[in-house]
Amino acid sequence: MSINLRTVYAFAREMYPKNSKETIQYGTAGFRGKAEFLDSVMFRMGVLATLRSRYREGAVIGVMITASHNPEPDNGVKLIDPKGEMLESSWEKIATDLVNVSDQELEQHVGQIIKDNNIDVTSSSYVYVGMDNRYHSPRLLKAVADGVIALKGNVREFGIVTTPMMHFFVVAANTKEAYGKPTEESYYEKLISSFEKLRNGRVENGNYRNSLIYDGANGVGARKMLQFIKRMNNSLAVTVINQGIGTGKINEDCGADHVKVKQRVPVNMPDVEPFTRCVSVDGDADRVVYFYTDDEGQFHLLDGDRIATLVADYLMEQIKRCDLNLRIGLVQTAYANGASTDYIVNELKVPVSCVPTGVKHLHHKALEYDVGVYFEANGHGTIVFSDSAKSLIAEAAKTNEDAKSLLLIIDLINETVGDAISDMLLVETILNHKGWDVKDWSAAYNDLPNLQLKISVQDRNVIKTTDAERVCVEPQGLQEEINKVVANYKRGRSFVRPSGTEDVVRVYAEAATKEDVQQLAYEVGRLVQRLAGGVGPELVNPSNAHL
């Protein structure tokens, strides 16, 4: 088979001309932006995925079209490497350069990538493509597929799927189906059968009730949950809200990001009993958070930190019961609530590390342990087991019932990446096992009040950070000013960093009281506006807000 790079240029010029002059970067989770400027990006990512597959000797590479928690007009694309991880970081640079060259330079540039990486263009390549349910996703999926076709690669389209399903399909295909088959049915089957075996017919236990409200963020997570419900034998009574039918827009006033950042219930919440367990996932269903309201109508959040601590505690207990000697570790980011980190260090006594935002960083760190539990505070995370841990557990399972359960737990977990539905089924399994309701779960520790702000600046990349993003090194002087402000607040902590998915600088703050955290976030936000080129209206001082 021979390929003609002229074809790539012809496709690009005729169908996917570059229509934006702005430089775009492979960020925290791939490329994101307004959908109308992404056709050429998608086409080129189809080209890159094909090259990457050839570079990896014909292994399947995944392409997921989604803008996750971003608003409806946005879309995005992320590449999935053969083992289900995010695209290797050295190729992120290749991706960024490829999407930013002009149409005229494209042919020569693709030739250079082939040469630099010694890619055999006559070899086979396989690309899997899936998308979320945004109305512009099908158009963008076609652009990716055309990028593959332009280089004579093989493309398989999965239609509307969650991000974690795409990761599952890629791993399933590349492990010759040891992980399952690369089909939707196989994915449902794997998760549901382990979940139901773990339940073993016991749907309620102690304070645990088996019903919950599920906020699907008007995204693909809603449709897939409806598919789960159809296939489950009433082992869980799930009411799905924000299903994405009718006028509801993806992530608008609903979903995991809304619930976590606004600390508020999603739109369309039915009238439920106080302390009813509720779950929100994001637009592509790779994040999950829990929440409930108490008998005074007060909102309570059980976020990724809570899930991580619940899971780590449970796994430690199970591993101890099996009498196995496995090193368990927890990975967080700077957004983790300080109270959760204290709890991990002082109560769980598990090693905990802090890495930069983005699951790729957490995932890599977690692989250093026999059992690595990682979660971003926003509910994005999973658990990874080393090969040797898996064989030890499998060996023990021959004689030990607890080890058998652990094996089922491993099956229930989508180890490739954070998976909202799989994580939810895991939490449900643990709560059921412990006989806990949300009150019991909340009792482990009290979150410090915390707040996030988004600040618009001229160029968010003027902010540079170090020490897992906890310290800002540029613009000069900003960190010193933040330190001075933070010192005035009991249990105060705050940091700033440029978002990798939105054109904003994020400010995080936590402090001992709600009033303090509002004031602290405001003061740090003002520093960013003043010292990092803020644009738009000045933040309002919360202590003057009533004036």
Ligand X SMILES: CC(=O)N[C@H]1[C@@H](OP(=O)(O)O)O[C@H](CO)[C@@H](O)[C@@H]1O
Instruction: Please check whether residue 70 is in contact with residue 131, taking contact to mean a CB–CB distance below 8 angstroms.
Output: no
- The smaller minimum CB distance to ligand X, of residues 9 and 374, is found at 374
Cα(130)–Cα(256) distance, integer angstroms: 21
Measure Cα distances from 388 to 313, 391, 394, 417 in Å.
Answer: 21, 5, 10, 20
Say if residue 215 carries a ligand binding annotation: no
Task: Give the residue, chosen from 187, 214, 335, 375, that forms a contact with ligand X under the rule CB under 6 A.
Answer: 335
- Single residue of 253, 437, 499, 542 touching ligand X by CB under 6 A: 499
Binding site partner of 284, from Mg ion, ligand X, none, Cβ cut-off 5-8 A by kind: Mg ion
What dihedral do alpha carbons 409, 256, 335, 328 form, nearest 10°?
Answer: 0
From the list ligand X, Mg ion, none, partner contacted by residue 208 (C-beta under 5 to 8 A by kind): none
**Which of 72, 286, 313, 516: binder of Mg ion (CB under 5 A)?**
286
Residues 13-72 that bind ligand X (CB under 6 A): 28-29, 68
Cis, bond preceding 475 (omega within 30 deg of 0) = yes
Segment contacting Mg ion by CB under 5 A, of 50-58, 234-242, 285-293, 490-498: 285-293
134 is in an annotated binding site: no
**What distance lies between CA 63 and its chain's CA centroid?**
15
If one asks whether residue 280 binds ligand X (CB under 6 A), the answer comes out as no
Structure tokens at 423: 């994580």
Q: Using alpha carbons only, how large is the chain's radius of gyration in Å? A: 23
Minimum CB distance to ligand X, residue 64 (Å)? 12
Q: Per CB under 6 A, which region of 339-347, 376-384, 388-396, 403-411 contacts ligand X?
A: 376-384
Query: Which CB, 210 or 378, lies closer to Mg ion?
Result: 378
SS3 state of residue 395: helix
Mark the segment that binds ligand X (CB under 6 A) among 83-91, 123-131, 409-417, 498-506. 498-506
Residue 378 in marked binding region = yes
Q: DSSP H helical segments within 322-357, as ranges?
A: 338-343
Between CA 217 and CA 231 the distance in angstroms is: 21
* Tokens found for residue 139: 């158009």
286 assigned ligand-binding residue: yes
510-514-517 Cα angle (round to 5): 35
Kindly give, in sequence order, each residue whose CB lies less than 8 Å from that of residue 524, ignoring residues fewer than 6 positions away.
453, 482, 485, 486, 494, 496, 507, 509
Work out which of 39, 85, 284, 516 binds Mg ion, going by CB under 5 A.
Answer: 284
506 touching ligand X, by CB under 6 A = yes
Considering 40, 53, 68, 280, which one is annotated as catalytic? 68
Q: Is 133 annotated as a binding residue?
A: no
Is 405 annotated as catalytic?
no
In this chain, which stretch among 65-73, 141-149, 229-237, 321-329 interacts with Mg ion, using CB under 5 A? 65-73
Q: Which of 53, 242, 378, 416 binds ligand X (CB under 6 A)?
A: 378
Among 40, 68, 293, 357, interactor with Mg ion by CB under 5 A: 68
Q: Is 285 left (phi over 0), alpha (psi -120 to 50) or beta?
A: left
Out of 337, 501, 519, 529, the residue judged to bind ligand X by CB under 6 A: 501
Contacts of 185 (CB under 8 A, 6+ apart): none
Q: Total residues at the site for ligand X (CB under 6 A)?
A: 15
Binding partner of 506, given Mg ion, ligand X, none, CB within 5-8 angstroms per partner class? ligand X
Cβ distance to ligand X smaller for residue 429 or 501: 501
DSSP 50-112: HHHHHHTTT-EEEEEE--TTS-TTEEEEEEE-TTSPBPPHHHHHHHHHHHHS-HHHHHHHHHH
Neighbour order of strands in the sheet with 493-498? 450-455, 505-510, 493-498
Stretch that binds ligand X, among 116-124, 237-245, 476-484, 495-503 (CB under 6 A): 495-503
The Cα 73–Cα 134 span in angstroms is 8
How many other CB atoms are there within 10 angstroms of residue 131's CB atom?
26
- Smaller CB distance to Mg ion: residue 12 or 220? 220
Residue 213 C-beta: closest distance to Mg ion, Å: 20
50 binds Mg ion (CB under 5 A): no
Reported as type and span, the H/E element at residue 230 is: helix 220-231
SS3 state at 373 = strand
CB of 66 to ligand X, least distance (A): 9
Instruction: Quote the DSSP letter at residue 462.
Output: G
Side chain identity, residue 408: L
Span near Mg ion by CB under 5 A; candidates 280-288, 304-312, 330-338, 450-458: 280-288
Known binder of ligand: residue 68? yes
- Shortest Å distance, C-beta 216 to ligand X: 17
Q: Is 499 annotated as a binding residue?
A: yes
Closest approach, Cβ 452 to ligand X, in A, equals 7
Q: Which of 270, 287, 293, 338 lies closest to 439, judged by CA?
A: 293
Please choose which of Mg ion, ligand X, none residue 338 contacts, taking the beta carbon within 5 to 8 angstroms, the exact cut-off set by kind: none
The partner in contact with residue 258, picked from Mg ion, ligand X, none with C-beta cut-offs of 5 to 8 angstroms by kind, is none
Interface pick for ligand X out of 502, 510, 516, 523 (rule CB under 6 A):
502
The answer to the question of residue 359 lying near ligand X (CB under 6 A) is: yes
How far is it, in rounded angstroms, from Cα 470 to Cα 494?
8
Which residues does the annotation mark as catalytic?
A: 68
Residues forming contacts to ligand X in the complex (CB under 6 A) are 28-29, 68, 335, 357-359, 376, 378, 380, 499-502, 506
Which amino acids are annotated as binding site for substrate, given as ranges? Answer: 376-378, 497-501, 506
Feature table: binding site for Mg(2+): 68, 282, 284, 286
Q: Return residues touching Mg ion (CB under 5 A).
A: 68, 282, 284, 286
